[in-house]
């Protein structure tokens, strides 16, 4: 397993790639934003010179119409450029955020169960929503940096053009400002990271409470759960206050340093005016350039935004640093029976070895029930068999081809899954049952529903198979039957059922199991079973114990072992 420092470096590297790619996604707009910002800064630099020249002409009682008009034009141009920056800034932010959310959502879905092995559901939502929006501001913040730098630097150059002494006075006080900006960027990044981390913890706790709302309500634990969710609030408050203190301290220091530098420049300009080395217009221009040169507010804002964006991007990078299962380009041999084989498979979760050196063969066209105590690794084995996760070591093969070498399309056409808590994705019930089918066929969908004993209650819905999923009330057992129907409709060589019969009543489970184990049933079936009756109907049973295969055989044979019988002791009893 990678150490924390290595994982942190990987996340940082991923975050940089994400920000670079998000920036390229809006390259034209980002360039336009940078150009508009620099142009606005240039216009702001020209205005003091034009004002100074107009003042000198007016004091000399000479015509100044052209210069006054130039000043008015520069003011209008500045307003237009500022409006363009506002529009472009919002557009770049929106496009970068949308791209980051799409990219991260796609990666989370590609990870499958592995995503929630590393991050709670609330954390995933917080990163996809809040952190993606914060990270999406990075391209625009970077595009604004040139303008934020051009203004102060251009003002220093303009002061040097008016008189070198003015620039030297200003530059004498520049080092404290540079150190201030450096400390601000470093401290802001640390504070924002803490703030976002606590936000993620609170989001995770809230999501858990929403998922368990019925249990909380039944136990009367609303107040306690509210307190648990809000427990990190003081820490969040401290992190927020630290963030504002850092920015407030920087602003206060800037306010203390900047006016002194401005006064020094104006004082020196006044002396030069008294010695007739400067005009009144030069003094006006110098005073304005001193404000521009020491006005680091825009630069502070850009650096703060960039620090927040980078901290959020690192949290997205932690997601992207988790590798998704790989896919190749191979196809399965024609007419294969669906032989499933696990060779030396080991898998870890949360730093614990769940499966350790598992060797297992499921002959094509047979039904294998996987049984074991809670925590034995049954669901993880099912995920590996369906290639919803990668083993840490070893290989999983279907008809002699490693699953990781199959193309995504070939794999999903060959392997169908049903779960204990199926989620119906789609507008209508028919859409949900046809999920993943390249060419949905109503007859095929209804046949699958009949096999799962779901057809009767679906027909009783307000609009039958055309009922909107959100308007289709269903019990846990009915939801499982719909999940089974969806898997049956997909067909394929291998059907993996991960506790997909647990909510069915005994009669329905018996009928569904009969359909699964019938001689005419197509393909290979891997069934995570908790009831002895289900295991008894399978062709063979794999008994998992402590992450290893303890025995494989017929249920009746294994039943002679007291340890095997004990597996079902907490379930439906010792019924064979």
- State the Cα–Cα distance between residues 29 and 49, nearest whole angstrom: 31
**Given pLDDT bands bounded at 50, 70 and 90, which one contains residue 362?**
very high
Q: Are 194 and 85 in contact (CB under 8 A)?
A: no
Task: Give residue 298's pLDDT.
Answer: 64
The two three-digit tokens of residue 288, written as one number:
């304005």
Task: Give residue 81's pLDDT.
Answer: 94
The whole-number average pLDDT for the span 465-479 is 81
Q: Are 327 and 294 in contact (CB under 8 A)?
A: no
Considering Cα of 421, then 422, then 428, then 430, what sign does the dihedral take? negative
Q: Are 96 and 22 in contact (CB under 8 A)?
A: yes
405 DSSP assignment: G
Q: What is the pLDDT of residues 455-469, one digit of tens each?
A: 888 888 888 888 888
- Residue whose tokens read 């809670």: 374
Q: Are 272 and 165 in contact (CB under 8 A)?
A: yes
Considering Cα of 406, then 408, then 410, then 416, what sign does the dihedral take? positive
DSSP lists the bridge partners of residue 393 as 346
Would you give the end-to-end CA distance of the chain in angstroms?
43
**Given pLDDT bands bounded at 50, 70 and 90, which one contains residue 96?**
very high
Query: Which domains can be identified in the chain, with CATH numbers?
Result: 7-320 (1.20.1560.10), 340-567 (3.40.50.300)
Among 7-11, 266-270, 313-317, the minimum mean pLDDT is found in 7-11
**Given pLDDT bands bounded at 50, 70 and 90, which one contains residue 194?**
confident
Closest CA to 101 of 69, 125, 66, 73: 125
- State the Cα–Cα distance between residues 486 and 379, nearest whole angstrom: 19
**Given pLDDT bands bounded at 50, 70 and 90, which one contains residue 174?**
low
Q: Are 328 and 404 in contact (CB under 8 A)?
A: yes
Model confidence at 250: pLDDT above 70: no
| H or E stretch covering 545 | strand 540-545
Among 146-150, 257-261, 382-386, the minimum mean pLDDT is found in 257-261
Report the mean per-residue pLDDT for the chain. 84
Q: What are phi and psi of 34, to 5 degrees?
A: -65, -40
Kindly list the distances between the CA atom of residue 330 and the CA atoms of 112, 341, 394, 398, in Å, as whole numbers in the listed order: 21, 17, 19, 12
Task: Give residue 91's pLDDT.
Answer: 93
Task: Give residue 109's pLDDT.
Answer: 84
Q: What is the pLDDT of residues 55-88, one digit of tens each?
A: 988 888 888 889 999 999 999 999 999 999 999 9
- State the Cα–Cα distance between residues 117 and 496, nearest whole angstrom: 20
Model confidence at 572: pLDDT above 50: no
- Does pTM top 0.85 for this prediction? no
Among 6-15, 136-145, 153-162, the minimum mean pLDDT is found in 6-15
The two three-digit tokens of residue 147, written as one number:
């303008």
Q: Which residue has the higher pLDDT, 114 or 547?
A: 547
* Burial tier of 266 (Cβ tally within 10 Å: 0-12, 13-18, 19+): middle
| H or E stretch covering 482 | helix 476-490
Q: Are 332 and 161 in contact (CB under 8 A)?
A: no
Kindly list the distances between the CA atom of residue 163 and the CA atoms of 57, 147, 330, in Å, as whole numbers in the listed order: 20, 24, 74
Model confidence at 524: pLDDT above 70: yes
The whole-number average pLDDT for the span 520-539 is 83
Buried b / exposed e over 102-140, threshold 16 CB at 10 Å, is ebbeebbeebbebbeeebbbbbbbbbbebbbbbbbbbbb
Task: Give residue 8's pLDDT.
Answer: 56
- State the Cα–Cα distance between residues 45 and 64, nearest whole angstrom: 20
Task: Give residue 97's pLDDT.
Answer: 92
**DSSP letters for 79-97:** HHHHHHHHHHHHHHHHHHH
**Given pLDDT bands bounded at 50, 70 and 90, which one contains residue 419?**
confident
Task: Give residue 429's pLDDT.
Answer: 86
């Amino acid at each position: 397993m990678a150490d924390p420092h290595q994982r942190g470096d990987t996340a940082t590297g991923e975050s940089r790639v994400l920000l670079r790619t998000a920036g390229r996604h809006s390259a034209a707009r980002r360039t336009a934003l940078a150009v508009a910002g620099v142009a606005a800064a240039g216009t702001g630099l020209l205005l003091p010179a034009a004002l100074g020249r107009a003042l000198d002409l007016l004091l000399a009682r000479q015509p100044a119409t052209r210069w006054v008009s130039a000043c008015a034009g520069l003011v209008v141009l500045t307003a237009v450029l500022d409006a363009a920056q506002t529009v472009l800034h919002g557009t770049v932010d929106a496009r970068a955020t949308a791209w980051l959310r799409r990219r991260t959502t796609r990666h989370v879905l590609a990870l499958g169960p592995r995503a929630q092995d590393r991050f709670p559901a609330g954390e995933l939502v917080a990163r996809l929503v809040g952190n993606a929006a914060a990270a999406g501001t990075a391209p625009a913040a970077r595009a604004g940096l040139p303008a934020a730098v051009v203004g102060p630097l251009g003002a220093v150059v303009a002061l040097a053009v008016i008189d070198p002494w003015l620039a030297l006075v200003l530059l004498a006080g520049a080092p404290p400002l540079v150190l201030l900006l450096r400390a601000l960027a470093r401290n802001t990044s640390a504070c924002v990271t803490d703030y976002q981390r606590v936000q993620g913890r609170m989001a995770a706790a809230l999501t858990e409470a929403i998922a368990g709302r019925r249990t909380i309500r039944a136990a009367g634990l609303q107040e306690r759960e509210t307190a648990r969710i809000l427990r990190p609030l003081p820490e969040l408050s401290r992190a927020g206050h630290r963030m504002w203190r850092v920015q407030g301290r920087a602003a206060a220091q800037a306010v203390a340093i900047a006016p002194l530098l401005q006064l020094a420049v104006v004082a020196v300009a006044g002396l030069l005016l008294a010695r007739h080395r400067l005009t009144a217009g030069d003094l006006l221009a110098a005073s304005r350039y001193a404000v521009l040169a020491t006005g680091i507010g825009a630069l502070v804002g850009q650096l703060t935004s960039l620090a927040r964006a980078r901290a959020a991007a690192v949290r997205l990078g932690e997601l992207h640093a988790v590798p998704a299962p790989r896919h190749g380009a191979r196809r399965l041999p024609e007419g294969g029976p669906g032989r499933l084989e696990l060779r030396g498979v080991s898998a870890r979760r949360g730093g614990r070895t769940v499966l350790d050196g598992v060797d297992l063969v499921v002959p094509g066209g047979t039904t294998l029930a996987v049984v074991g105590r809670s925590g034995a690794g049954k669901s993880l084995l099912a995920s590996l068999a369906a290639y919803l996760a990668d083993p840490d070591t070893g290989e999983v093969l279907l008809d002699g081809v490693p699953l990781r070498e199959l193309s995504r399309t070939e794999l999903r056409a060959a392997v169908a899954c049903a779960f204990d808590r199926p989620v119906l994705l789609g507008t209508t019930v028919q859409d949900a049952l046809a999920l993943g089918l390249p060419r949905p066929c109503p007859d095929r969908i209804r046949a699958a529903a009949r096999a799962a004993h779901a057809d009767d209650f679906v027909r009783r819905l307000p609009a039958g198979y055309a009922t909107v999923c959100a308007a289709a009330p269903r019990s846990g057992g009915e939801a499982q039957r719909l999940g089974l129907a969806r898997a049956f409709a997909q067909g394929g060589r291998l059907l993996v059922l991960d506790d997909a019969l647990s909510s069915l009543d005994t009669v329905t489970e018996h009928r569904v199991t009969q359909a699964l184990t019938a001689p005419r049933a197509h393909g290979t079936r891997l069934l995570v079973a908790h009831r002895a009756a289900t295991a008894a109907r399978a062709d063979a049973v794999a008994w998992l114990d402590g992450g290893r295969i303890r025995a494989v055989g017929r249920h009746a044979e294994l039943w002679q072992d007291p340890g095997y019988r004990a597996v079902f002791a907490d379930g439906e009893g010792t019924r064979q």
